[in-house]
Chain A
Amino acid sequence: EIVLTQSPGTLSLSPGERATLSCGASQSVSSSYLAWYHQKPGQAPRLLIYGAYTRATGTPERFSGSGSGTDFTLTISRLEPEDFAVYYCQHDETFGPGTKVEI
């Protein structure tokens, strides 16, 4: 069973800053099955990135995904106020524990 870890647990930043979120897998995984979501309070998660690198429909260009094997990264180039949320990575049937991006 693959276990996903995410770091940091909480990221405190300001609008306009760059955010780098990490997702680690307990064993090498296919990047085709790696996705990123964000979730705001009281809302359903929203798909941002799938296949490790591909932006979902409607995902702004400031979001980018990278990585392979056991280490994946979601980068937000310049934080907008609406980006403050919890971010989850997912591989196949497993979700990571999340990273909270807060002001």
Chain B
Amino acid sequence: QVQLQESGPGLVKPSETLSLTCTVSGGSLVSYYWSWIRQSPGKGLEWIGCIYFSGTTSYNPSLKSRVTISLDTSKNHFSLRLSSVTSADTAVYYCARTYNSRAMDVWGQGTTVTVSS
């Protein structure tokens, strides 16, 4: 069965770039969308963006100027870069396999990223 695992630094300094990778095991990137979602402490879910296996991306308009999602089919992973971070970007970041309807059926366990000097 498909499993997703997020990885990356747990602490990022303000104004720097947050970089996370989601490694897909037990399946291929082909024919699916792949999303990043975050959840601030005690808050709800916020969709960050997604990428199709072909490389087409779609981003949350509120984050679009700072977000880049990319994928590497040879390594079976996809990545998130979020630039110019502030404390408001402190959250648990999840990656998820996504249908074309945006429903997300397989999730990673999540990784906590704290923005602090």
Cβ-defined partner of B103 (8 Å) among A1, A50, A98: A50
* A32 surroundings in chain B (CB, below 8 A): 101
8 A-B pairs besides A50-B101, A50-B103, A92-B102 with CB distance below 8 A are: A44-B96, A44-B108, A45-B94, A56-B103, A57-B105, A90-B102, A93-B58, A95-B45
List 30 contacting pairs A-B, 8 Å CB cutoff, sorted by A: A33-B103, A35-B101, A35-B103, A43-B109, A44-B94, A44-B96, A44-B108, A44-B110, A45-B94, A45-B104, A47-B103, A47-B105, A50-B99, A50-B101, A50-B103, A56-B103, A56-B105, A57-B105, A88-B44, A91-B102, A92-B102, A93-B58, A93-B60, A93-B102, A94-B47, A95-B45, A95-B47, A96-B44, A97-B44, A98-B44
Q: Which of A33, A44, A94, A96 has the most CB of B within 10 A?
A: A44
Q: Distance in Å from the Cβ of B41 to the closest Cβ of chain A?
A: 12
Beta-carbon contact of B103 and A51 below 8 Å: yes
Instruction: For A98, list chain B residues within 8 Å (CB).
Output: 44
Q: How far is the CB of B43 from chain A (nearest CB, A)?
A: 9
How many A-B pairs fall under 8 Å by CB? 54
CB distance from B66 to the nearest CB of A (A): 16
Report the interface size for chain B: residues with CB under 8 A from the other chain: 19
| Ranked 8 nearest A-B pairs via Cβ | A50-B103, A44-B107, A35-B103, A95-B45, A93-B47, A47-B105, A92-B102, A33-B101
